[in-house]
Amino acid sequence: MSSKITIGLFGFGVVGEGLYNVINESKIQDAQIKTIVVKDKNKSRSIGKDHFSFDPEDILEDESINLVVELINDAAAAYDIVTTALKRKKNVVSANKKLIAEHLDELIALARENDVSFLYEAAVGGAIPVVRNLEEYYNNDLLTSVEGIVNGTTNYILTQLAAGGTYQETLKTAQELGFAEIDPTLDVDGFDAKFKLTLLLKHAFGVSADYRKIQQIGIRNIKAADAAYAKEKGYKIKLLARAERIEDGVLGYVAPHFITNTNLLYNVNDEFNGIVVEGAFADRQLFYGKGAGSYPTASAVLSDISAIKYAYKYEYKKATDNNLKLSGNFLVKVYVGSEFVELINEIPFVRIDEVFQSEGYSYQTGWVDFSELQKFQLNSIPGLSVIFLPEPILHKSKAKGLEVSKKQYQVEF
């Protein structure tokens, strides 16, 4: 492409405005925003109206614009913008994790067919440079796992719960601070983290995953009693997106975890994100930083813009001749808590290790078959907390000794 980057920007919200300021302040040579397309004609903005257009074709039909930056919230509208731009042989940078998770392989194919770049570093972890590192730095290392705190809203809520707050009080504060949306479902039920995990699976293991088939358990059912259990055991509760290669498959899910102080994510608190990458030779490495916000996210977009100056493209080398697929052929150790004992007994434990019952709250810990757990819509069962414990995940072929009895031990009324 031409060494001069002429940008068509879709969206001028928190990130779009941040990108506009960052580009002007960073003084990147040979990169400029020519046209900004927005939807709301009546919204007050920090720069003059002459900078804006309301017709997408003002960008998509402009042959002088060779890079489209898509920073809008509407995934359906973003799909139309991105696919049209790629078909018209324009490079694309996007931060829309829902769009990309839903259509990743299609968008990769379109970019290759039209010999253009499609980059999305900002879609995973904000300012954390994890996608390109998985593509390049870890290309020759046998990756074993990637796990991360990739949603700042839930991490803020869980940090405050550990300090003694309640879920509802902490959620309200997060909304007032702008960390949480008025409808927090995408965050607290784990959808946002699952979209990001879909992208991590592709770049870490070459796995094309249907995000709808990835198990996600959110945090809306976590209660003060669960936080008290964590404190008693020396744990912290973190919502983790996890991908781990074990034997012949890859396990991928989003769920709350109890973690110990030996976990590199233990001190990643409040709205910060952290991602731990583990390889057979590189051991464990932590990527840490702000996962959202105007300038942090804009900095990741700017990094992609700079890469496009050098015609950089993701190569997806790990997907070449790769037969790895998502698998549920594992056992995991979990904590299941509720004030309703009958809800706890719905979970089909392979082995129960600990039982606690009181007048107001009960819990069990033990091992469950992950494929059985996947059958439950756990976000839709009010009052039932399911939190993964720190023990390593076990492939079924190496977990025969766990079944000490075929009898299902249950908490008694």
pLDDT digits (tens, 9 = 90+) for 43-90: 889 998 889 999 999 999 999 999 999 999 999 999 999 999 999 999
Can you give the pLDDT at residue 410?
A: 46
Cα–Cα distance measured from residue 107 to residue 168, given in angstroms and rounded to the nearest whole number = 39
196 is catalytic: yes
Length, in residues, of the chain:
413
pLDDT digits (tens, 9 = 90+) for 139-168: 777 899 999 999 999 999 999 999 998 888
Element spanning 256, H or E:
strand 249-259
DSSP one-letter string for 343-361: HHTTS-EEEEEEEEE-SS-
Rg of the chain taking only CA atoms, in angstroms:
23
DSSP-assigned beta bridge partners for residue 160: none
What average pLDDT score do residues 177-206 get?
92
Within 8 A by CB and 6+ apart from 339, the residues are 360, 361, 362, 383
What backbone torsions phi and psi does residue 373 show, to the nearest 5 degrees? -65, -30
Element spanning 252, H or E:
strand 249-259
Q: Reply yes or no on domain 130-319 having CATH 2.170.190.11.
A: no
Band (pLDDT 50/70/90 cuts) for residue 404 is very low
Q: Which two tokens stand for residue 180?
A: 């949480």
Q: Residue 376 pLDDT more than 80?
A: yes
Cα–Cα distance measured from residue 223 to residue 184, given in angstroms and rounded to the nearest whole number = 17
Asked if the domains 5-119 and 130-319 are classified in one and the same CATH topology, the answer is no
Cα–Cα distance measured from residue 118 to residue 108, given in angstroms and rounded to the nearest whole number = 7
Q: One-letter amino acid identity for 300?
A: A
Classified by CATH at the fold level, domain 330-402 comes out as Alpha-Beta Plaits (3.30.70)
DSSP 3-state of 322: coil
Q: Which two tokens stand for residue 182?
A: 């008025």
Residue bearing tokens 């509720």: 338
Band (pLDDT 50/70/90 cuts) for residue 248 is confident
**C-alpha distances in angstroms, 249 versus 23, 47, 199, 396?**
43, 51, 17, 12
| Residue of 97, 194, 196, 290 with catalytic role | 196
Can you give the pLDDT at residue 321?
A: 65
Classified by CATH at the fold level, domain 5-119 comes out as Rossmann fold (3.40.50)
pLDDT digits (tens, 9 = 90+) for 283-320: 999 999 988 888 889 999 999 999 999 999 999 998 87
What backbone torsions phi and psi does residue 246 show, to the nearest 5 degrees? -135, 125
Can you give the pLDDT at residue 2?
A: 53
pLDDT digits (tens, 9 = 90+) for 86-122: 999 999 999 999 999 999 999 999 999 999 999 999 9
- Number of alpha carbons in the 13 Å side-chain half-sphere of residue 129: 12
Domain boundaries, the chain: 5-119, 130-319, 330-402
DSSP-assigned beta bridge partners for residue 102: none
